[in-house]
Structure 1
Amino acid sequence: MPQALQDLSAEVHRQLALLSYPRGAWVPPAAADVLDVAIIGGGQAGLTTAFALRRQSVTNVAILDRAPPGQTGVWTNFARMRTLRTPKHVSGPDLGVPALTPEAYFSARDGADAWEALPKIGREDWQRYLDWVQATLDLPVRHGHELLGIGHDPATDLLHLRVGTAAGEITVKARKCVLATGMDGMGQWSIPAPFDTLPAACVSHTSGPVDFAGLAGKRVLVVGAGASAFDNLATALESGAAAGIMLVRRPRMPRVNPFRWMEQAGFLGQFHAMPDAMKWRMMRKIFDLNQPPPPASWDRVKDDPRFSLFMGAPTTAARMEGAEIVVETPNGTHRCDHVIVGTGTAFDLTLRPELDGLSDKILLWRDVYTPPPGQEWPALGACPYLEKTFALREKTPGAAPALRHLHLINYGATPSMGLSGASISGLKYGVARLSDGICQALWVDDAQAHMDSLLDYDEWELTAPIPQELPLAAE
């Protein structure tokens, strides 16, 4: 690590020492093999949650992530933009510690002038920043640990997490569990009809592996007009594709980015407190607006003569004719050698293997709220209806007591809590509320132990003899 970053890490610890009130432990000690909090996912939300809990003196915590070091989250995996879409002055993982902010990191690494000249933070540089945060704070990430299932022991009220490792399956016991599972934590990335009938080798998803080198010289068709669709198309063209065809269902390209409106303290900090009808209406508008491709993503393809764009072109059929893919739309037929689907994720908790046996017992928005005519949106209705602590709720009281110990801060938390863990913009506010919620749950669960501790408390602060002091009645 460069000396400037070592010095910055030392400054982080100095500032944390200045902010360390209150310091005392307050969670009753657990058994040696029991975590107070298990965090699933070592990306930006998981790391920030562990840091936030430590700031509140909850330290018996572990982060479980299936990826090796340096590959947690999306940034070095399927994200293919060149820079973040978020403004560079965003903060979040720092939790208000100045030396831990992105600006402090990049200024120390590259110089203050380089930071001032930087338009946006590079995608892979963001991962390097997160890795530095983890190393500086010594956050407890257990790499190569994949959550397979969630059990619950009623006798102890503990979660039993089935976890896959290179050495085999193990059980991790925990009082609380945070699902910081990102954009696909609400279901899975899937190949929709009619492309699911094509040979698997002919179809990729923007959020999965794509053999871009193997697309050199081939005609590539991308379905969708979101930022990821454009970034994948650009990467294919930059890798030597012969043509890049984009099919867009909408008749007009989205122009307004609701994230720029959402990036305000009011929405980020207070959306969670709104009544359900207003939450739904806001989210419905945000989902309907979608996001336009960032100007940088559009600029990667707009002047390339191999690029062609077809608006108002939903796919009605897809088939193979020999080695060629034929895609039908109401406005014409398109032929290509490979399809990349950029239509997002399926919102369906039953697709999450770790929630097997629990997903059908989770209270969803559609179980609680019926939108007025014209405001329906199935993806919103499929999201969990969360407690203020981010905890999942039971659809039928008593049917799944484990759910109150599961706190969700992936994309599915958005209708209940606003931007939180799956968006850099929401980390600053969402994680703070989550850590408060977990601490609240831990404190309430241990209320009797805390009462007993208070009743037994007998440490004298004033030890000097008092001549005029009367004896206690019991004496």
Structure 2
Amino acid sequence: MHRAGYADGNLTVQVDWGEEAEAGVRPGGLAALEQRLAQDLAWLDLPAKRWVPAGRAGGECLQDVVIIGAGMAGLAAGTCMKHLGMQAVLLDAAPEGFEGPWATTARMETLRSPKQLTGPALGLPALTFRAWYEAQFGLDAWDALDKIPRLQWMEYLRWYRRVMDLDIRNRHRVVRIQPRADHVRIEFEAPAGPGVLHARRLVLATGRAGLGGPYIPDFMENIPRRYWAHSSDTMDYDTLRGLRVGVVGAGASAMDSASTALEAGAAHVDMLIRRSDIPRVNKGKGAGSAGFTHGYQQLPDAWKWRIRHYINRSQVPPPRGSMLRVSRHENVSFNLASPVVRVAEHEGRLRVDTASKTFDFDFLILSTGFMVDWETRPEYAEIAPHVRTWIERYTPGAGEEDQELATSPDLGPSFEFQAKAGHDVPGLSRIHCLCYPAAMSHGTVSGDIPAISDGAERLAKGIAALLFVENIDTHFDQLEKYDEPEVFGDEWTPA
């Protein structure tokens, strides 16, 4: 049985695929796949030769690219950089093998994406999840598979990291980012002590909460933390055994949190749902064509706002499987048309007033999503006041106001930050945003499985062009000095 675990503070994670996967393992299958992958890379002449000039800054070696985050987006971006002949260092605060949410804070049983999506494979068939799965369990097992088990996806990403041989430095937490005219200075804390890296370009591959953190509604102000958690928090759901629990929200994370609480033995779970009905259609899937992926970036501002606002307003329904996982329990109530109005501590519990009725809970889980909030990320303190956002670029019409879109960064063609009018910040555009808030500028290519390869390739090609242009003097000098002959003079006889 495939297992891995770590203990970090109050968190203990156990990864276990289950007996059914183990029974179908085909010995040597992965070895053959890895040989095929190596051959594919050789046929494509990948990775390309290193070509970015060496440099130094602050007395230290100047890295081509530093990527903060070694989850799915960071892996794809780092691999693209490597394939294009650039050197990338990936920093991640998590222990090795636990990057991203999959084996830590995510609580769904399976991924929500269709199993056939190629995700971070970058056009390499042997790098897909399907190839990895079939190599071990066979075609019949693949045909029988409905959705990808969440922890099995994490195992795939661990394999991806190994076969792509990326320079990933775990337990490295970035604490300060300082743009400079010709590089970015990155301070970090690591087990060996504090350190500094200097990079020509910095990429933020930091996920859903990439430029902020969880959205905590105003009604939670002054409520002691022992009474509540956000659905993205690291917590032991076994502590909810025997308790009456409220879950605010009706999205996928709300269903995952509710079902995890129920499975942990919660006495009763009440879902507090603002709407009078639960959304039925995932409009985001309707924007999943190659046209949206490659054409969205070229749209006028008004169309970008219209599309993103429409998807936000429609909201994304929870997966059917996630809802059924909740509904199979008898001790759960779906309270529709019940937006939370007020929360107060009352006799050692929480009294929650909604538009429909009042509830008493031992614990409350907020499945309220994420927001851009620079103040919660001290590492961004020196760039936050200067980054131009969409509200400074575009004024929506009446009724089209949208806080998420308004606070999204206004990114350049290579995902680079741009400065607000009148703000002169040398080096700000050397920082690139490959995390969820990039969706307003680039579409959904910066974090979700369907188009992550497209986003990573767009980023890597853009950075390659920028690095070439800014070092053109060196490249031309190398061109002049290039002297490998093709013709030696003995190939002909003069008339």
Bin the TM-score by the shorter chain. Answer: over 0.9
Q: AA paired with 1:423?
A: D
Does 188-197 or 34-43 show the bigger shift?
188-197
Residue 82 of structure 2: aligned partner: 54
- Closer, same or farther: CA 22–9 of 1 in aligned 2, 3 Å: closer
Residue 36 of structure 1: aligned partner: 64
Q: AA paired with 2:30?
A: L
Residue 343 of structure 2: aligned partner: 318
Matches within 5 A, 1:68-467: 68-154=95-181, 157-396=182-421, 399-465=424-490, 466-467=492-493
Task: Kindly state the Cα deviation for residue 274 of structure 1 after the two structures are TM-superposed.
Answer: 1.1
Task: Kindly state the Cα deviation for residue 191 of structure 1 after the two structures are TM-superposed.
Answer: 3.0
Q: AA paired with 1:80?
A: R
SS at match of 1:79: coil
Q: Contact 1:44–1:421 (CA<8 Å) still a contact in 2?
A: no
SS at match of 2:340: coil
Partners of 1:22 and 1:321 in 2: how far apart?
62
Aligned length: 466
SS at match of 1:141: strand
Task: Kindly state the Cα deviation for residue 467 of structure 1 after the two structures are TM-superposed.
Answer: 4.1
Q: Contact 2:63–2:200 (CA<8 Å) still a contact in 1?
A: yes
Does 442-451 or 193-202 show the bigger shift?
193-202
List alignment gaps of at least 5 residues for structure 2: 3-26
Partners of 1:182 and 1:73 in 2: how far apart?
8
Q: AA paired with 1:127?
A: M
Query: Could you list the per-position Cα deviations for residues 53-75 of structure 1 after superposition, in whole angstroms to 9, with x for gaps in the alignment?
Result: 111111x2110001001110010
Partners of 1:289 and 1:393 in 2: how far apart?
30
Task: Kindly state the Cα deviation for residue 351 of structure 1 after the two structures are TM-superposed.
Answer: 2.8
Query: Could you list the per-position Cα deviations for residues 130-168 of structure 1 after superposition, in whole angstroms to 9, with x for gaps in the alignment?
Result: 0000001111110011111111344xx221101111222
Does 297-306 or 188-197 show the bigger shift?
188-197
Q: RMSD of aligned C-alpha atoms?
A: 1.6
Q: AA paired with 2:138?
A: G
Q: AA paired with 2:329?
A: D
Partners of 1:105 and 1:303 in 2: how far apart?
33
Partners of 2:367 and 2:222 in 1: how far apart?
17
Partners of 1:461 and 1:397 in 2: how far apart?
53
SS at match of 1:50: helix
Query: Could you list the per-position Cα deviations for residues 286-330 of structure 1 after superposition, in whole angstroms to 9, with x for gaps in the alignment?
Result: 111111110001101224221101111111111122122110012
Task: Kindly state the Cα deviation for residue 420 of structure 1 after the two structures are TM-superposed.
Answer: 1.7
Partners of 1:110 and 1:237 in 2: how far apart?
32
Q: AA paired with 1:35?
A: Q
Query: Could you list the per-position Cα deviations for residues 226-260 of structure 1 after superposition, in whole angstroms to 9, with x for gaps in the alignment?
Result: 10001100010011111010011122211110232
2:30 is the counterpart of 1:5: yes
Residue 26 of structure 1: aligned partner: 51
Partners of 1:184 and 1:297 in 2: how far apart?
22
Q: Contact 1:394–1:401 (CA<8 Å) still a contact in 2?
A: no
Task: Kindly state the Cα deviation for residue 456 of structure 1 after the two structures are TM-superposed.
Answer: 3.0
Q: Contact 2:179–2:428 (CA<8 Å) still a contact in 1?
A: no
Structure-2-length-normalised TM-score: 0.91
List alignment gaps of at least 5 residues for structure 1: 470-475
Moved over 6 A (4+): none
Q: Contact 2:272–2:338 (CA<8 Å) still a contact in 1?
A: yes
Task: Kindly state the Cα deviation for residue 414 of structure 1 after the two structures are TM-superposed.
Answer: 0.3
Partners of 1:278 and 1:350 in 2: how far apart?
30
Q: Contact 1:185–1:352 (CA<8 Å) still a contact in 2?
A: no
Query: Could you list the per-position Cα deviations for residues 206-231 of structure 1 after superposition, in whole angstroms to 9, with x for gaps in the alignment?
Result: 00023211111110100011100011
Partners of 2:118 and 2:203 in 1: how far apart?
21
User: Identity of paired residues, percent?
Assistant: 36
- Closer, same or farther: CA 206–447 of 1 in aligned 2, 3 Å: same
Structure-1-length-normalised TM-score: 0.95
Q: Contact 1:222–1:342 (CA<8 Å) still a contact in 2?
A: yes
Does 290-299 or 1-10 show the bigger shift?
1-10
Residue 45 of structure 1: aligned partner: 73
Partners of 1:212 and 1:296 in 2: how far apart?
20
SS at match of 1:201: helix
Task: Kindly state the Cα deviation for residue 398 of structure 1 after the two structures are TM-superposed.
Answer: 5.8
SS at match of 1:425: coil
Task: Kindly state the Cα deviation for residue 21 of structure 1 after the two structures are TM-superposed.
Answer: 6.4
Query: Could you list the per-position Cα deviations for residues 446-470 of structure 1 after superposition, in whole angstroms to 9, with x for gaps in the alignment?
Result: 111122222333332111345449x
Q: Contact 1:350–1:360 (CA<8 Å) still a contact in 2?
A: no
Q: Contact 1:365–1:384 (CA<8 Å) still a contact in 2?
A: yes
Partners of 1:92 and 1:302 in 2: how far apart?
30
